[in-house]
Chain A
Amino acid sequence: MIDKKLLSLPGIRKILTLLAGIAFIQGSAIVGQACFLATTIVELWNGEKLIGQLKWVILFFGCFALRHFMVFYRDKILDRFAAKQSTDIRKQLLGKIFRVGPQVIQANGTGNVTTMVLEGVDKVENYLHLILAKTVNLMIVPWIILTVIWFFDWESGVFLLAIFPLIIIFMIVLGYAAQAKADKQYKTYQILSNHFVDSLRGIDTLKFFGLSKRYGKSIFKTSERFRKATMNTLKIAILSTFALDFFTTLSIAVVAVLLGLRLLNGQIQFFPALTVLVLSPEYFLPIRDFSGDYHATLDGKNAMNAIQKILALKEPKVRQIEIPRWQHSSTFKLKKAIFSYDKNHRALDDVSLSAVGYQKIGIIGLSGSGKSTLINLLSGFLQPDEAEISFEGERAASFTQNDWQNQLIYLPQNPYIFKATLRENITFYNPAATKEQISQAIEVVGLKKLVAELPQGLETIIGESARELSGGQSQRIALARAFLDESRKVLLFDEPTAHLDIETEVELKERMLPLMDQHLVFFATHRLHWMQQMDKIIVIDKGKIVESGTLAELKRKNGAFVRLSSSLRRI
């Protein structure tokens, strides 16, 4: 009943023991509450004075209060326990995400990862809370009550015991029926339920084609079809709750009638009969509770599995080597690198290249040719399937090396701008930069105009949902980051200007070129004009390096490079 994964949580044994103790006290209090209330009623029924019942009434209230106090106490304990567990899980998850990085995020999507860290973990917390309390209660409370009922009247005891498995069987059978029905309708269901959002998202398209006004009718019609489909499923889905309800209430009625008949014959006394009647709803309460928050528990369970899956991801254990700071005489070699995202298709196939000192290496190719994959491999985000890598002759398994990554600056097509002040964004790689350094960086990358325009200058908050910047401005900020950390001598560019308008690109290029001096540069692009400034050009196609050399050499060869450039410039 309890997931095996839960039993491996730290401190779970202790909490389960505690819960069992609480459930035991609760069960006993329920019995006490029923007995004392029955006593009071029977005495009054016999014509005794109310004042004489004070003792029983106080005892009743004492038991009643104790029972609910135990619930209160149990919830508090569970709050604390669940909160602690969720904090730990969240910490592990975040640690994992920030260690393994883009791989996890790409595979799951940013939105999903965020939701998992925040809501997913909350759901797990809720799940722990519910499942532990309910399961322990179900395993203890009904049986204490049943024992007492048996003691007072074994016939009712037999009846109540027999009905219990019947309820469970019915619930399971009906649950499966509902599931089967839901599965059968899943596809139509999905389409109908997405139809509305889909129409809203495409509403401008509808408008452009002059359909938007008439389309309202279709929205309503589809929504009504959705309602009918939902109701059809629901009729069956809530049958299992109905079965539970039906059997429990009817059982109480049957117990009452049987008790009544036997009272008539004098086979049982009033007090035990009344006690059994008061106790019978309590007997069913735990199972009703247990099935109550079914969806919350299911959600929690799924969330927990999803989180476990990420936590179980293998982290590449790459032997770290010492790599000296990159300088004009440094070298690295990459030989026969192979990388594939899936089995059938190699994204990089037998790629070899070497870099010496402050070379500028252009990587040119069409979309999907493997440019970005190569850059990601060089940055250490991806682990090659096979490769010989060596820094200054020393072998390394991949580029995931601390000593390498802390020398890198990576400029993607859309550099990420954090929602923070402009200053914090610029000094991301070097939070200790001085005022002079910052203003120099701003000057160099041409951000002066922006700083002057911003209401609080450098201290203005930029980024998502604050002040949004244009693509060119984002690139300039990323450049300033690079400029401010002079110790990083390796620059990786992945199509930094592909989405910019031609004039912005030109302005940016003027700023970028001086920064590339005295750096090892890898520049992946399909914009040909950058090739003039490169010392070496690598032409990549379908994951293979098809040609390499200086611009002059490649032009002379009249091969892949020339073909590529003329196909880009047919007109």
Chain B
Amino acid sequence: MKIFKLFKEDTWIKPFWGKYRKSLFLALVLGFLTFICGGALMFNSGYLISRSAAHPENILLVYVPIVLTRAFGIGRPVFRYLERLTSHNWVLKLTSELRLKLYHVIEKDAVFFKSKYQTGDILGLLAEDIGHLQNLYLRTIFPTVIAWLLYVFIILALGYFSLWFALVMLLLLGTLVFVFPLISMIVNGAKQERQKSLRNELYAGLTDNILGVSDWIFSQRGTEYNELHAAAQSELLKIKYEIQNNDHKRDFAVQLMFGILTIVLVVWTSSIFPGAHGGAANWIAAFVLSVFPLIDAFAPLGQAAQETNTYQDSLSRLNSLPKERDVEQKKDVKLTAPYEFKITRLNFHYADAQQLVLKDLNLTIKNGERLAILGRSGSGKSTLARLLRGDLQCSSGNLTLNGIPPAKLGDDICHYIGVIHQTPYLFHTTISNNLRVGNEAASAKQMWSVLERVGLKDLVSRMPDGLETIVDEAGLRFSGGERHRLALARILLQDVPIVILDEPTVSLDPLTEQDLIEMFVKQLEGKTLIWITHHLQGLSLMDKVIFIEDGRLTMSGSPQELAHTNQHYQRLLEIDHGILH
């Protein structure tokens, strides 16, 4: 079974068993005591009634059972309450650790993580996976371990009375503790697998067709899809029905086992506690009645074991993440102005592909230069930006900032280069916290001053809590243009000499785009500006335009030069300007 293999190679669950050992132990003991109290209450009550029925001369003879009955009656709910608190607390502590671990793993690869995984929201998924691990503990691991403890205790206790009967119970309870859960996992495991894949298909199919709903409506083929979906759904229902059916059968069989267990206890007790209107026979009721509370401990084990199958995906997703690596030692290098990039004979291909993304590139970016990198999507221009920041390293050739490859600077690169993306991320916190990402020490005055520079001062001062307003809350949404302005404000606070704009404005309408570009150029005056774009809007504000086609640099020059001498550029300009000519 896949799940066992996963467990064996796991690095996300097992290492944490040693953590917070005391509270883990406490949680298990409390769980164990809960069931012990439940069983003991009935055991004691059975004895109390039998003993009383024998009319002892002295009431003091039943005094101890009376007190114990009350104690167990109160003990059970109290232990249960404490057990739930302790186990939740432990699991949440673990969650903090797991989150930190996940964060560290992803942080290593932060820049590329999202683009590496095609699945829509891989990060959201991983965060949920950790939530699933919580459930794995609370719903499967804890109940199972507690039942095992109980099992051991019962067998030992019975062994005190009779060795052979302890052996009988070892087998009978053993089937409940091990055989049923195992069978349950195996029999339904395959079906659950099938159920999951069917469900995923349905999900994908439905999402797909809901996204394309307008085409279905126009083509007037909507009912066709509904029938298709219904067919797939009914197959899923069938499997679900089979699984449920197995569950019901198992639950029924488990209950019958308890019936048999009761009878076995009746037989055994009647043989070792011979009755004579009381006497030793007082123990019969005690032993027999204590079976019923135990049902609560052992009956859910099958379901619990079976649930592990549903955590399989989460486990394998987490375990297939790259392992935590050691932080590489970086040298303490300080760069000083003027800053100049030198690129000579650069070739680049990704590690997992042979095809060159950038070929034989030569380029110098001078201090304070405004450079536009123009090209189609997929031409390699974003790759170039990542090479400049040192997130990627060239396959051959050289790329240096003031003579040093940017990758050598490690995280210190952020003192020199700032980046604005197509969709700047705003954290779900206050505006001031979002700005302080740029500079943690920024004062309110500084923040207001950069907000003024990016033209957001009025907007923010009109907000209910000013700088302390939470982004995106209660209908407060920044438009695309405003998000870019905030991103720029962050960069201004960061105060770096070089700024890379990676297609920051392509999703905006032309007027907003024009405004933004003008602002970028004005506010970043004096800094080196590297602007990646795929259309011509605003290019005339640049000192230099280079054109990348299929990884090669195909033209280069000032926009005015190109407009005069380069045919290709002229043609593009002509189309873009179109009717005004």
Q: Interface on A for B, CB 8 Å cutoff? A: 37, 40-41, 44-48, 50, 53, 57, 60-61, 64-65, 68-69, 71-72, 75-76, 79, 83, 87, 90-91, 94-95, 97-99, 101-102, 105, 110-111, 113-114, 117-118, 191, 194-213, 215-216, 219-220, 223-224, 226-227, 230-231, 234-235, 238-239, 241-242, 245-246, 249-250, 252-254, 256-257, 259-261, 263-264, 266, 269-270, 273-274, 277-278, 281, 366-368, 379, 381, 402, 405-406, 408-410, 412, 416, 418-419, 428-429, 463-465, 468, 470-471, 499-506, 526, 528-532, 551, 565, 567-571
Contact = CB atoms under 8 A, between A and B. Distances in A.
B230 A260 contact: no
B81 A551 contact: no
B458 interface: no
Contacts of A234: 84-85, 88
A209 B111 CA distance: 12
B153 interface: no
Nearest to B269: A44
Contacts of A530: 578
B425 A110 contact: no
B418 A87 contact: no
B208 interface: yes
A97 B213 contact: yes
A252 B245 CA distance: 34
The 4 closest A-B pairs by CB, nearest first: A529-B578, A253-B73, A210-B414, A501-B534
**Most chain B Cβ neighbours within 10 Å, of A99, A101, A114:** A114
A215 B87 CA distance: 28
Interface stretch (B5-13, B179-187, B249-257, B448-456): B249-257
Nearest to B92: A227
Interface stretch (B43-51, B164-172, B359-367): B43-51
A226 B92 contact: yes
A114 B206 CA distance: 6
B204 to A, nearest CB: 7
Interface stretch (B259-267, B301-309, B310-318): B259-267
Contacts of A201: 123-124, 425
B233 interface: yes
A64 B538 CA distance: 83
Contact of A428 (B70, B202, B219, B274): B219
A215 B99 CA distance: 12
A470 to B, nearest CB: 6
B207 to A, nearest CB: 5
B80 A211 contact: no
15 contacts: A47-B274, A50-B270, A98-B225, A105-B210, A202-B426, A205-B427, A208-B418, A241-B84, A246-B77, A250-B70, A263-B49, A416-B215, A529-B576, A529-B578, A532-B578
A98 B213 contact: yes
Interface stretch (B346-354, B393-401, B508-516): B508-516
Contact of B244 (A57, A75, A209): A75
B428 interface: yes
B210 A113 contact: yes
B159 interface: no
Given A203-B103, A204-B111, A207-B111, 18 more contacts: A72-B252, A97-B213, A98-B216, A110-B207, A118-B206, A250-B73, A250-B74, A253-B74, A257-B69, A277-B289, A418-B209, A470-B378, A501-B377, A502-B536, A528-B578, A529-B578, A571-B538, A571-B541
Nearest to B378: A470
Contacts of A41: 266, 284-285, 288
B277 interface: yes
B38 interface: yes
B579 A529 contact: yes
Q: Is the interface of A mostly helix, strand, loop or mixed?
A: helix
B96 A471 contact: no
Given A114-B210, A260-B48, A72 B579 contact: no
A112 to B, nearest CB: 10
Contacts of B276: 47
B107 A249 contact: no
Given A210-B411, A224-B96, A410 B511 contact: no
B281 interface: yes
Contacts of B81: 238-239, 241-242, 245
B281 A264 contact: no
A565 B213 contact: no
Interface in B507-533: 507-512, 514, 518
B214 A381 contact: yes
A265 to B, nearest CB: 9
A83 B237 contact: yes
Contacts of A503: 376, 572
A274 B292 CA distance: 14
Contacts of B55: 263-264, 266
B259 A65 contact: yes
Interface in B214-256: 214-220, 222-223, 225-226, 229-230, 233-234, 237, 240-241, 244-245, 248-249, 251-252, 255-256
B326 to A, nearest CB: 13
A206 B110 contact: yes
Contacts of A196: 99, 103, 127
Contact of A223 (B50, B100, B578): B100
B69 A256 contact: yes
Contacts of B206: 114, 117-118
B100 A571 contact: no
A213 B324 CA distance: 13
B49 A114 contact: no
Nearest to A381: B214
A102 B217 CA distance: 10
B158 interface: no
A93 to B, nearest CB: 10
Nearest to A250: B73
A260 B49 contact: yes
Given A220-B99, A252-B45, A464 B85 contact: no
B241 A79 contact: yes
A206 B437 contact: yes
B93 A253 contact: no
Contacts of A263: 49, 52-53, 55
A36 to B, nearest CB: 11
Contacts of B426: 202
A250 B45 CA distance: 12
A406 B220 contact: yes
A104 B223 CA distance: 17
B476 interface: no
Given A209-B494, A502-B534, A502-B536, A253 B412 contact: no
B252 A71 contact: yes
A571 B514 CA distance: 9
Contacts of B378: 470
B542 to A, nearest CB: 11
B82 to A, nearest CB: 10
A216 B244 CA distance: 43
B52 to A, nearest CB: 4
B41 interface: yes
B376 A504 contact: yes
B282 interface: yes
B210 A253 contact: no
A504 B412 CA distance: 38
Contacts of B288: 37, 41
B510 A231 contact: no
Contact of A45 (B209, B278, B538): B278
Contact of B211 (A76, A209, A246, A416): A416
A216 B106 CA distance: 11
B196 to A, nearest CB: 12
B511 A366 contact: yes
B49 A203 contact: no
A277 B49 contact: yes
A235 B88 CA distance: 10
Contact of A410 (B41, B204, B214, B225): B214
A231 B88 CA distance: 8
Interface string B323-366: 00001000000000000000000000000000000000000000
